[in-house]
Amino acid sequence: MVKREELLRSIDKNSRISISELAVMLGENEIDVANELKALEDEGIICGYHTMIDWSKTSIDKVMALIEVKVTPQRGIGFDSIAERIYKYPEVTSVYLMSGGFDLMVMLEGKTLKEVASFVTNKLSPLDTVLSCSTHFILQKYKEHGTILTKKYDDTREIFTP
Amino acid sequence: MRNPLADKIVDIKPSGIRKFFDVVQTIEGAISLGVGEPDFDTPWHIRDEGIYSLEKGRTFYTSNSGLKELKVEICNYTNRKLGVTYSPDNQVLVTVGGSEAIDLALRAMINPGDEVLIPQPSYVSYEPCAILAGAKPVIIELKEENEFRLTAEEILEHVTDKTKILVLPFPNNPTGAIMERKDLESIAKVIIEKDLFVLSDEIYSELTYTDKHVSIVEIPGMLERTIMINGFSKAFAMTGWRLGYACGPKEIIEQMVKIHQFAIMCAPTTSQYAAVEALKNGDDDVAMMREEYNHRRRFLLNEFKDMGLPCFEPFGAFYMFPSIKRFGMSSDEFATRLLQEQKLAVVPGTAFGDCGEGFIRISYAYSLDDLKRAMERLRAFTTQL
């Protein structure tokens, strides 16, 4: 019986790991691991496999913004409908419903500052239920998904210890 | 000028690892699987408590036997893990690493000429510490066919009227062997019958990959004749903090405190505050690291199988101890050639006792990527032999 949580933790760290390697590391056989992965995908627990890229090290320009959005919830459907309205834009990478001072946290990716600004002014703000937007631009990514982007691991241990 | 040195010290062989260390440093691009400490950093919340303690000015000595708060946590921990009760007032001593506790226990219990049973292959310090304490070390050579576990018969073969202490180094460095409850029950009978004391070095107790670690103190009749040593280095990745402890009968701990008091005064205060946090809130970190080690352990086992390197499945610590006998070389020769030809450094089994001949120690306190790279080199080396 493949341990679900252990399997998930393993691919959360490295989604490119092969099924045969996973099977060895979990002490299971390949067929069971493959079936469990399939089940996790079917159940929508595994929703996708992403690559973490530090775009700032490439020649491709990307501007990331984080927008705090206050909205008026609608009777019967709460925040779902407005969230759906917002997440349908392809430039929106994440949408979260938040507790606290605002309602939706919208993460956005654009090529230029102007493009992001235009999205906020022309698309997001004019939406009926949107009361206010407060846009923050990301200046530097230090750590993402548990990985430190600004520094490489350096093994400073002695070469030999008993 | 007279000879300034003590013969007893001069006669002690330097650690076999040191010799290799000098060679490996001259080889560019060498990768090493020779490290006996975790590759993880100390979890941040533990480091944080160390830093806070400095900010708050907790920079004084603690009591000789250790910070009261830490001793209480150690007793809670041993109770939680092993179901045994020690009193924080007189049955716990906080030491500078488990190593100090080994030295203290032997010195506190040995009279000249007493014999100490030391199973090997094992950690490098038991034999010299026994000698320094004035004991005669008696080596028990553990056998591969027993998966390097210690048996009652082996004790009986080596016990004499002078035998006083048995060193019990499990989970074991360098073999990765463990002792399960049934193994411990069978040796406990002999230990009681022969009226021996046990120095149980359980520094790798958290790194056990079967059900759970069993300590000899859990076996009826053993608590009162065992000094149980553990520490923070391996479980919480705190090697550099130098913090360990010994638990045992108060008569023995009392005498150990005396030596500790005159030699060391007390263990580092900053480390003790950090250790309190480790014991209170560190269980999840330990579980995370254990899972990771276990993945690597299975990975290596599979690699060895694949390249035809015989190795029993070790269930403890973070070492593998494959046999290299079929290549017709000594451990030293194998390790030297592996280093020269493939730039991969491993420790010859003989560094842990003569009976380590024919084996090498491979540590998996390395990232999976590092291990993969290393296994490519090992495979290249063994296939051309």
Residues A38 and A61 in one domain: no
Partner-chain residue, chosen from A25, A158, A160, that has the shortest CB–CB distance to B295:
A25
Predicted pLDDT of residue A81: 92
* Contact residues on chain A for B298, CB-CB shorter than 8 A: 24-27
Residues A29 and A64 in one domain: no
Instruction: Name the pLDDT band for B339 (thresholds 50, 70, 90).
Output: very high
Q: Which residue of A has its CA nearest to B21?
A: A160
Instruction: Name the pLDDT band for B11 (thresholds 50, 70, 90).
Output: very high
- Residue B82: pLDDT over 90: yes
Instruction: Name the pLDDT band for A152 (thresholds 50, 70, 90).
Output: confident
Q: Tell me: cis bond preceding A162? Omega within 30 of 0 counts.
A: no
Predicted pLDDT of residue A151: 83
Residues A120 and A91 in one domain: yes
The structure's pTM equals: 0.94
Residue A123 lies in a domain: yes
Structure confidence by residue, pLDDT tens digits, B176-194: 999 999 999 999 999 999 9
Residues A78 and A115 in one domain: yes
Residues of B near A (Cβ–Cβ under 8 Å) read 15, 17-18, 20-21, 24-25, 30, 32, 34-37, 39, 123-125, 173, 291, 295-296, 298-299, 302, 345, 347, 351, 367
Residue A160 lies in a domain: no
Closest CA to B345 of B354, B336, B353: B336
Predicted pLDDT of residue A147: 87
Q: Name the token pair of B74.
A: 């150690």
Q: Which residue of A has its CA nearest to B293?
A: A25
Average pLDDT over residues B322-329: 96
Q: Which residue of B has its CA nearest to A21?
A: B299
Residue A25 lies in a domain: yes
Partner-chain residue, chosen from B25, B124, B295, that has the shortest CB–CB distance to A159:
B25
Residues A59 and A130 in one domain: yes
Instruction: Name the pLDDT band for B326 (thresholds 50, 70, 90).
Output: very high
Q: Do B347 and A24 touch (CB under 8 A)?
A: no
- Residue A18: pLDDT over 80: yes
Domains with residue ranges and CATH for chain B: 7-42+284-384 (3.90.1150.10), 44-281 (3.40.640.10)
Predicted pLDDT of residue B243: 98
Residue A124 lies in a domain: yes
For residue A36, what are the domain limits?
4-42
CA distance B271 to A2: 39
CB B120 within 8 A of CB B356: yes
Average pLDDT over residues B117-126: 97
Residues A98 and A137 in one domain: yes
Predicted pLDDT of residue A75: 84
Q: Do B347 and A160 touch (CB under 8 A)?
A: yes
CB B37 within 8 A of CB B203: no
More confidently predicted of B23 and B109: B109
Residues A114 and A60 in one domain: yes
Residues A62 and A107 in one domain: yes
Residue A48 lies in a domain: no
Partner-chain residue, chosen from B34, B173, B298, that has the shortest CB–CB distance to A25:
B298
More confidently predicted of B21 and B136: B136
Residues A63 and A140 in one domain: yes
Q: Which residue of A has its CA nearest to B347?
A: A160
* Contact residues on chain A for B32, CB-CB shorter than 8 A: 159-160
Percent of chain B with pLDDT over 90: 95
Q: How far is A53 from chain B (nearest CA, A)?
A: 19
CA distance B71 to B86: 10
Residue A137 lies in a domain: yes
- Residue B150: pLDDT over 90: yes
DSSP class per residue in B180-198: -HHHHHHHHHHHHHTT-EE
Vertex B327 angle, CA B323 and B332, to 5°: 70
Say how many domains are in chain A.
2
Residues A64 and A138 in one domain: yes
Structure confidence by residue, pLDDT tens digits, B24-68: 888 889 999 999 999 999 999 999 999 999 999 999 999 999 999
Structure confidence by residue, pLDDT tens digits, B249-266: 999 999 999 999 999 999
Q: Do A159 and B299 touch (CB under 8 A)?
A: no
Predicted pLDDT of residue B111: 98
Q: Which residue of B has its CA nearest to A10?
A: B292
Least confident among A38-42, A143-147, B84-88, B267-271: A143-147
Element (H, E) at B320: strand B319-320
Predicted pLDDT of residue A73: 85
Percent of chain B with pLDDT over 70: 100
Residues A65 and A37 in one domain: no
Q: Which of B295, B307, B313 should be substituted to probe chain A, the one whose Cβ sees the most A Cβ atoms within 10 Å?
A: B295
Predicted pLDDT of residue A160: 85
Q: Do B37 and A9 touch (CB under 8 A)?
A: no
Residue A91 lies in a domain: yes
Average pLDDT over residues B106-112: 98
- CATH number for position A113: 3.30.70.920
- Residue B131: pLDDT over 80: yes
Partner-chain residue, chosen from A9, A24, A162, that has the shortest CB–CB distance to B299:
A24
Residues A134 and A72 in one domain: yes
